[in-house]
Amino acid sequence: MSEITLSSVFPVNEQRIIRRALRLLEKYQRQPGESFTSTSFTKIWLQLQLAGLEREIFIVLYLDNQHRLLERETLFTGTLSHTEVHPREVVKLALKHNAAAVILAHNHPSGTTEISQQDKHITQRIVKALALVEVRVLDHLVVGNEVVSFAEQGLL
Q: Among 137, 115, 151, 120, which Cα is nearest to 61's?
A: 137
Contact 112, 144 (CB under 8 A): yes
Instruction: Confirm whether 97 is domain-assigned.
Output: yes
How far, in Å, CA of 140 to CA of 104, rounded? 4
Assigned domain for 54 exists: yes
Helix, strand, coil % (nearest 5) of the chain? Answer: 40, 20, 40
Select, from the ranges 19-28, 71-80, 144-153, the one with the highest average predicted confidence (pLDDT). Answer: 144-153
Cα separations in angstroms, 58 against 14, 77, 79: 23, 6, 11
Evaluate whether residue 144 is within a structural domain.
Answer: yes
Domain of 16 in residue numbering reads as 6-149
What pLDDT sits at residue 46?
A: 85
Q: What number is the average pLDDT over the span 126-131?
A: 97
**Which pLDDT band holds residue 33 (cuts at 50, 70, 90)?**
very low
Q: Is residue 154 part of a domain?
A: no
Q: Which helix (H) or strand (E) holds 92?
A: helix 87-96
Domain count, the chain: 1
Query: Is the pLDDT at 1 greater than 60, yes or no?
Result: no
126 phi/psi in degrees, rounded to 5: -70, -40
Q: Is residue 155 a part of any domain in this protein?
A: no
Report the share of the chain in percent with pLDDT over 90: 40
In a domain, 48, yes or no: yes
Within a domain: 22? yes
Residue 156 lies in a domain: no
- pTM of the predicted structure, to 2 decimals: 0.76
**Amino acid 78: pLDDT:** 72
Confidence band (pLDDT; 50, 70, 90) for 105? very high
Question: What is the reported pLDDT for 32?
Answer: 45
Q: What is the pLDDT of residue 142?
A: 92
Contact 100, 135 (CB under 8 A): yes
pLDDT at 5: 53
CATH of the domain at 127: 3.40.140.10
Distance CA 31, CA 68 (A): 9
